[in-house]
Amino acid sequence: MRLRNVRGSEEIISAHPFTIQTDGADAEQFKGNWQKEIFGNFNPIHLEIGMGKGQFLIKMAALHPEINFIGIEKYSSVLVRAVEKLDALKLGNIRFLRMDAEDLEDFFSAGEIEKIYLNFSDPWPKVRHAKRRLTSAHFLEKYEYILVKNGLIQFKTDNRPLFDFSLEQLEKTGWYQEEVSFHLHENGPAENNVMTEYEEKFYRSGNPICRFLARKPN
């Protein structure tokens, strides 16, 4: 899908106090310092990779002030919409990063993240692009590094082939499948679940939403 360029998005993002630019940044200044130096507390950190326009993460931050939330988005034209949403709220427990998930280990130390959210990630349907899927063994290795002991991944998608692939990758790499649902909202909106923009759209259309919760290998 071609992204529409938003004029001035990079300037808005770079000027926002809760958005961290990673281009040209010294990654070492962030590793191991997110709690004390960035958030100013020692609350657990939850990370959303591919946060899109930010609806999910901002709602989670509002519901859980006892948790620090970090959202990663690769594209400025998308991230700027999350910044605009955040400006209407007073939330100190959220930060945004414009970066590629390939660089996770450069910006986060081992065992620094408690939970990772992957919401409606790009399915990369071609076989030759399987490594790019955010639930591939390639990325699960990165998550295993930055997650705490017994850390969690929560993944949601409407793409059944991607979900099946993801479950296979979990089994292949030794992750523990805590919860698996092939139709999360079969009996109405699931309890204790915050919907993304895509999820709301798919729910109204009756599309089954798949979700798993997986625990890091020992």
- Tokens found for residue 119: 């919401």
Given a cut of 60, is residue 3 above it in pLDDT? no
Confidence at 1, pLDDT banded by 50, 70, 90 = very low
Measure Cα distances from 139 to 116, 132, 170 in Å. 12, 8, 11
Which residues have a Cβ under 8 Å from the Cβ of 188 and sit 6 or more positions away?
A: none
| Domains annotated on the chain, with CATH | 44-215 (3.40.50.150)
- Catalytic annotation, residues: 122
User: pTM for the full model?
Assistant: 0.91
pLDDT in tens, 157-188: 999 999 999 999 999 999 999 999 999 999 99
pLDDT in tens, 182-215: 999 999 999 999 999 999 999 999 999 999 999 9
**Inter-residue contact 78 to 122 (CB < 8 Å):** no
- Tokens found for residue 176: 């523990």
Confidence at 155, pLDDT banded by 50, 70, 90 = very high
- Tokens found for residue 133: 């899927």
Secondary element (H or E) of residue 100: none
Separation between Cα atoms, residue 122 and residue 46, nearest integer Å: 20
Measure Cα distances from 157 to 61, 105, 136 in Å. 21, 25, 14
